[in-house]
Amino acid sequence: MANALTIGRVADAAGCKAQTIRYYEQIGLLPAPPRSEGNQRLYDDAAIQRLSFIRHARQLGFPLQAIRDLISLSDRPEQTCEAADAIARQQLADVDRRIRRLQALRHELERMIEQCKGGRIADCLVIETLGDHGLCDVDDHGDAEKTNRNAQRPPKSLGRW
Amino acid sequence: MANALTIGRVADAAGCKAQTIRYYEQIGLLPAPPRSEGNQRLYDDAAIQRLSFIRHARQLGFPLQAIRDLISLSDRPEQTCEAADAIARQQLADVDRRIRRLQALRHELERMIEQCKGGRIADCLVIETLGDHGLCDVDDHGDAEKTNRNAQRPPKSLGRW
DNA sequence: GATACAAGCTACAGTAACTGTTGGTTCAAG
DNA sequence: CTTGAACCAACAGTTACTGTAGCTTGTATC
């Protein structure tokens, strides 16, 4: 069937920008489609499906490399899906880690804000708390937000730098 | 007092890399410190404190721009801390949004994995689910992971692209 | 057929917040 | 005096795109 779609339609269908589609093509995540006489890309339904797959996986937080792996897996449909399962499990573990960490952050932020009674900057606990890692309940190890730390305890007040 | 520290010590104290400190200096987040005769940066305790502030705020997920704002606030200690409070509240709202979203992701990932009973790729639900946004409970609006979407419902099976 | 405007094209720069690399200098220890 | 670690500047690379510039193509209207 010759229902050939231009890039904009496909972008709308998959919920991304035309630029993004070209980008995926450029990095080899999408195959280069045929072109019209005027050199415009023409897509079919299979392309939309593959793009939707990619977008959906991205929304689930899979990095492009993992998506690449999943795609290459799905090109060998007779194998067991152990590997796909492993990728998904990894992603789940990652999401779990991020949730736990964000909850710790949330906690500290809330405490910070609660204590701030709208005084002057000089006594602002938001600012003071940020200078003082010792009171912090954030525990970070190997996170998506790649942090590392090792804080000393500074004197209580920040004052002027 | 002349307890002058080289960049490596400061990096250890604040839990970051020397590179990062130079980067912060470069973008104006840290003032350029004096140098030794051999052109090496020499820091004092105030610098460590400021750096700790920055690192801690970063661990809490504040973007550098927000940190910049907080620093410039703290340079005017006689104002009210309304603005600092607002920044923190914003950050909290952001963290909340991210947590909610990650929990939705977690949910879908878990379902995906649970359903995958180790068959062949051809029937793998991990892969199939990713191709099918219609089953998805992920709802995304204005997120840190800047996604947008608008999916159509593709036919049930992916098969070959 | 002329014109206007949207949508497409390529190529490149920019984003955040760093990290890594290269190739050279300085410092402290032995 | 010689290692070797720590420092220096400058720049490239990372991730996953997004934005811009300057052009061409496609479509709708007059």
Residue type for B96, please? D
Residues 6+ apart with CB under 8 A from B26: none
Listed as ranges, the nucleotides of chain C within 7 A of a protein C-beta are: 7-11, 16-21, 25-27
Number of alpha carbons in the 13 Å side-chain half-sphere of residue B155: 7
Does the distance separating the beta carbons of A77 and B49 come in below 8 Å?
no
**Which residues in chain A are closer than 8 Å to B11, comparing Cβ atoms?**
none
Question: Which of 25-64 (A) contact B at CB < 8 A?
Answer: 31, 45-50, 52-53, 55-61
User: Which of A105, A99, A140 lies closest to B91 in space, CA to CA?
Assistant: A105
Nucleotide closest to residue A37 (CA–C1'): D25
Mean pLDDT of chain B: 75
Among the residue ranges A9-13, A131-135, B29-33, the one predicted with the least confidence is: A131-135
Is residue A102 within 8 Å of B98, Cβ to Cβ? yes
Residue type for B140, please? D
**Which residues in chain A are closer than 8 Å to B112, comparing Cβ atoms?**
88
Nucleotide closest to residue B36 (CA–C1'): C26
Mutate to test the interface with B, among A10, A20, A80, A109 (most CBs of B within 10 A): A109
Which of A62-66, A149-153, B17-21, B142-146 tops mean pLDDT? B17-21
Distance CA A18 to C1' D20 in A: 15
Mean pLDDT of B129-146: 47
Mean pLDDT of chain A: 75
Residue B155, pLDDT above cutoff 50: no
Residue that wins the pLDDT comparison between A65 and B82: A65
Structure tokens given for B131: 């191709």
Q: CA-nearest residue of chain A to B154?
A: A49
CA dihedral B44, A135, B90, A120 (to 10 degrees): -70
The confidence band for B56, taking pLDDT boundaries of 50, 70 and 90, is confident
Residue A67 sits at φ, ψ, to 5 deg, of -65, -40
Mean pLDDT of A15-24: 95
Residue A41: what pLDDT? 97
- Interchain CB contact of A12 with B (< 8 Å): yes
Does the distance separating the beta carbons of B148 and A49 come in below 8 Å?
no
Distance CA B141 to C1' C8 in A: 28
User: Which residues belong to CATH 1.10.1660.10 in chain A?
Assistant: 7-74
Instruction: Round to whole Å and give the CA distance between A65 and A85.
Output: 15
The confidence band for B153, taking pLDDT boundaries of 50, 70 and 90, is very low
Q: Which CATH number fits domain A7-74: 1.10.1660.10, 3.90.1150.10, 3.30.565.40, 3.90.550.10?
A: 1.10.1660.10
Structure tokens given for A152: 């000393």
- Interchain CB contact of A139 with B (< 8 Å): no
Residue A24: what pLDDT? 95
Residue A112: what pLDDT? 75
Mean pLDDT of B33-56: 92
- B7-62 topology per CATH: Multidrug-efflux Transporter Regulator; Chain: A; Domain 2 (1.10.1660)
Tell me the percentage of chain A whose pLDDT exceeds 70: 68
Rounded to a whole number of angstroms, the CA Rg of chain A reads 24
